[in-house]
Each structure stands twice: as C-alpha cells, then as structure tokens.
C-alpha cells in the first residue's frame, strides 16, 4: 500500500506538466520535410488562431532537424544549415517573443529513427546544448539501440532526465519509448510523459489500437506525469492518406481529452486560410480542452463496453450483415474538480471507414452504474460538441439523437 502511494507522488520534480502538455509537433504532417519557415509560420498561426491562448504552448521540432554529423571539434549536434539557417537559439527566441516555447527531438541511441546523429555517449552535452538553445521540451526517442539497451531503457531515460535537471533549465521530458518495457512503471519518476503505444497514423484502426493500449493505464497518470498515446491526427491528411473523417476526428480528440493525454496537434497550421473549419472547431473546443486540463488532473477511464457480434467469424454480423447483430460501444468517464464529471458516449463500430455493418446507437449514461453516484443526484448536462446546455438530469442521461458509428457524444455533468 505504501509503495502504491509513493509511486504516485514520486514524480519528476521539474515543476512542469502539472496538467497534460499541449502544443504542436512537426512529425505527423511534415515528417522530415521541415524547416525554419514551417516552424515560424506555425507559431504565427497558433497565435492568430487563438490556439496559444487555449493552452497550446509548445511547438516541437521532431526528427530531421540535425546535420548528418556532429561538429567534429565541439562534438555538439548541429542544426541542418539549409533547413535551419539561423540556428535553434534564434528560433527559440522567436517562439518566446510570441509567448510560446520551442521543443526539440533527440534519440537515446546511436542514431535517430531517421538516421541522424543520436545522443548515445553525449547525453550531458546534448542536454547542455538544448538548454543553451533555450529549449523547453525534449522528445527523446529510442531507435538504434542494442537489445540490451532496449531492455534497460529505464537506465538511459533516467540518465537523460538527470542530465536535463543538471542544466538548471526546466525542460519538459517526453519519453518516446513506444510502450516498450512498461514505461508507466518507471517513467513517472523521471519523465513528464511517456509513450504507451507504437506510432499513431491517420487511420481509425490505428487510433483505436492506441486508445486500447492507453485506456487501461489511468492509475499511473497524475500531475507532472502522463500516459502518452501519441500525437493528434485531427486534420492530418496526405495525398496517399485521406485521414480521419470528421466523426473519427471528433472521437479521437474527445477520447484523448478524457484520457488526459497530451494534446499535441499534428496538422498543417502554416496557412490559416487552408485549415478546414471543422478541424478548427474540434481543436478549439474550449469545453473539451477544459476536460483535458481539469485541475483534478486524473486520467478518465472506460466504465462500460458493449461488444456484440464484432468477432469477424460471427456470421450474423459480418457474413449475413445484419446491422442489428453488430454493436461496439464504449462509455468513458472522468471525474472533475467541481465534483462533476465528463463523459464520452462512443459508438466505436467497426474498423474500416466504410464499415456498413454497424448502425447508429442509442446510448445511456447511468449515474449508479457509470458514475457510481447516488441516482437521485441532479446534474446540469452540457453537450460539449453541440456547445449547449441540455438541462437538469437525474439518474440517467440519453442523448436525443442516435450516435453514428465512429462518432461520440461528449457531455459534462455539473453538480447543482
Ligand atoms: C518514432 C516516433 C515518432 C517520430 C519518429 C521520428 O520513433 O515514435 O513519433 O518521432 O520516430 O523518426
């Protein structure tokens, strides 16, 4: 019992990420096609669109910012002079002048995943370099390590955590260990966030896999230490990948918010006029963001699921294709500081975007079953996507409309 209590409070004590971090990262949309202009334009747009003021504070440069060799004399990492001609300190200062913070990426192994120089053998020097560049966020990957190193990943992440602390600059430490070696068991003490999953992609099935891996880990999250099911794919689209639908994006954002996951945007923000309004409606929804940032600082949990006929060999659902025979719904709940709750009623449906086996569902939130509170309690219910108060409810709440497959209904319940 004592051990359980102490793991919860023994967090990396850098004072950062008391609530899940919010920001933007270059990887999901731009991969290696990054440069200073993209970063600056992103910062400008985030200010113009009000994203900064909603809490999206960090702009993180992912892999491929480095020159392919360290400086032969100083052994420091060097930004690619073509992509980042003014260097990282200038870029940090640019972010700061706009009220934002710059983040950067490195790797605990010999090379980054895209084969640029890794930090192995240079943890202290790299931490020092990042601090001198006034970096505020480090995403630390783990490609190009040996099997032994991979098994002992905690040693390497601890070493980098200490190196960051030694610089005296509070740098948010984001451990990108893909859920390997059960990071939730050791990373809360040394990192602010740790990846619980493999890489997300803008495909519904992949988002669902990340959800499943992350949703069972709520007990490990808390102020300063968060499970990270990877960055957001809302609005990410590429010629060969159409991306998530509006409904899927809404569910993705709602679920990440209720799981108190870091909200790190991945979509192209460089041209404000080219961002679809439905994307802005999702990522700028204040109420949904407040659920993620609620000061009680807990990760919400799945409290109910109904799975009928989803097994592909189930003839009624998949072969005979009777939609009535297929159901896959999930209910998530997060307690809030005001003694209320947030809830997501999620009609998960099948895996493919065009999966016609599943039907719109009627879903009900039940106070005693799902919130574990007295059913006579009265709450003011607000529809967070519809942005309207629906009235006072007692005992149960059922939305008026059916919930479409891959879509969700998200509400807050405020005690009266
Ligand atoms: C992966 C990581 C991605 C991205 C990529 C860069 O390991 O999970 O989020 O950072 O490396 O190469």
pLDDT in tens, 64-115: 999 999 999 999 999 999 999 999 999 999 999 999 999 999 999 999 999 9
What is the pTM (predicted TM-score) of this model? 0.95
Identify the three-state secondary structure at position 16.
Answer: coil
> How remote is the CA of residue 218 from the centroid of ligand 1, in Å?
24
Tokens 């120089």 appear where?
A: 117
Q: Which atom of ligand 1 is nearest to the CA of 112?
A: 12
pLDDT at residue 358 is higher than 90: no
Catalytic residues: 141, 199
Ligand 1 neighbourhood includes 27 CB (under 6 angstroms)? yes
Ligand 1 neighbourhood includes 176 CB (under 6 angstroms)? yes
Ligand 1 neighbourhood includes 62 CB (under 6 angstroms)? yes
Nearest C-alpha to atom 1 of ligand 1 is from which residue? 113
pLDDT at residue 256 is higher than 80: yes
pLDDT at residue 355 is higher than 80: no
CB 91 within 8 A of CB 38: no
- Quick one: DSSP state of residue 269? -
Distance of CA 231 to the CA centre of its chain: 4
Nearest C-alpha to atom 6 of ligand 1 is from which residue? 63
> How remote is the CA of residue 199 from the centroid of ligand 1, in Å?
7
Q: Tally the residues of the chain.
A: 416
Closest Cα to residue 220, out of 372, 11, 22, 18?
Answer: 11
Cα separation of 151 and 145, whole Å? 10
145, 176, 213, 262: residue to mutate for ligand 1 pocket, most atoms within 8 A of CB? 176
Ligand 1 neighbourhood includes 268 CB (under 6 angstroms)? no
Identify the three-state secondary structure at position 238.
Answer: strand
Ligand 1 neighbourhood includes 233 CB (under 6 angstroms)? no
> How remote is the CA of residue 134 from the centroid of ligand 1, in Å?
22
pLDDT at residue 315 is higher than 90: no
Which pLDDT tens digit goes with each residue over 238-253? 888 889 999 999 999 9
Q: Which atom of ligand 1 is nearest to the CA of 200?
A: 9
Ligand 1 neighbourhood includes 141 CB (under 6 angstroms)? yes
Nearest C-alpha to atom 2 of ligand 1 is from which residue? 199
Q: Among 99-103, 105-109, 352-356, 391-395, where is mean pLDDT lowest?
A: 352-356
Q: Which atom of ligand 1 is nearest to the CA of 105?
A: 10
Average of pLDDT values for 371-383? 98
């Amino acid at each position: 019992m004592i051990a359980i209590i102490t793991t919860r409070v023994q967090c990396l004590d850098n004072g950062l990420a008391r609530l899940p971090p919010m920001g933007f990262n270059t990887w999901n949309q731009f991969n290696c096609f990054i440069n200073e202009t993209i970063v600056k334009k992103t910062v400008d747009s985030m200010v113009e669109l009000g994203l900064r003021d909603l809490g999206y504070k960090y702009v993180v440069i992912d892999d491929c910012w480095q020159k392919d060799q360290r400086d032969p004399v100083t052994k420091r990492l060097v930004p690619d002079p073509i992509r980042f001609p003014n260097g990282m300190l200038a870029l940090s200062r640019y972010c700061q002048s706009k009220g934002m913070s710059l983040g950067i990426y490195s790797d605990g192994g010999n090379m980054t995943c895209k084969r640029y120089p890794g930090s192995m053998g240079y943890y202290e020097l790299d931490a020092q370099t990042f601090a001198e560049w006034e970096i505020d966020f480090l995403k630390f990957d783990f490609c190009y390590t040996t099997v032994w190193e991979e098994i002992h990943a905690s040693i390497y992440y601890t070493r980098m955590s200490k190196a960051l602390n030694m610089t005296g600059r509070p740098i948010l430490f984001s451990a990108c260990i893909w859920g390997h070696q059960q990071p939730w068991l050791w990373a809360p003490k040394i990192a602010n966030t740790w990846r619980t999953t493999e890489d997300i992609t803008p495909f519904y099935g992949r988002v669902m896999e990340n959800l499943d891996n992350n949703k069972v880990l709520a007990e490990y999250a808390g102020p300063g230490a968060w499970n990270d099911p990877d960055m957001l794919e809302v609005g990410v689209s590429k010629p060969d990948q159409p991306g998530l639908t509006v409904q899927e994006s809404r569910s993705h954002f709602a679920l990440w918010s209720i799981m108190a996951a870091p909200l790190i945007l991945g979509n192209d923000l460089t041209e404000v006029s080219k961002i679809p309004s439905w994307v802005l409606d999702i990522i700028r929804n204040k109420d949904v963001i407040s659920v993620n940032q609620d000061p009680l600082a807990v990760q919400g949990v799945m409290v109910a699921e109904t799975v009928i006929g989803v097994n592909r060999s189930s003839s009624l659902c998949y072969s005979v294709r009777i939609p009535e025979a297929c159901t896959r719904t999930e209910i998530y709940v997060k307690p809030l500081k005001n003694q209320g709750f947030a809830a997501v009623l999620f009609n998960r449906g099948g895996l493919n975007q065009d999966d016609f086996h599943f039907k719109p569902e009627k879903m009900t939130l039940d106070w005693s079953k799902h919130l574990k509170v007295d059913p006579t309690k009265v709450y003011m219910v607000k529809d967070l996507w519809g942005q309207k108060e629906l009235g006072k409810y007692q005992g149960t709440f059922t939305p008026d409309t059916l919930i479409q497959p891959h879509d969700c209904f998200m509400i807050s319940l405020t005690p009266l």
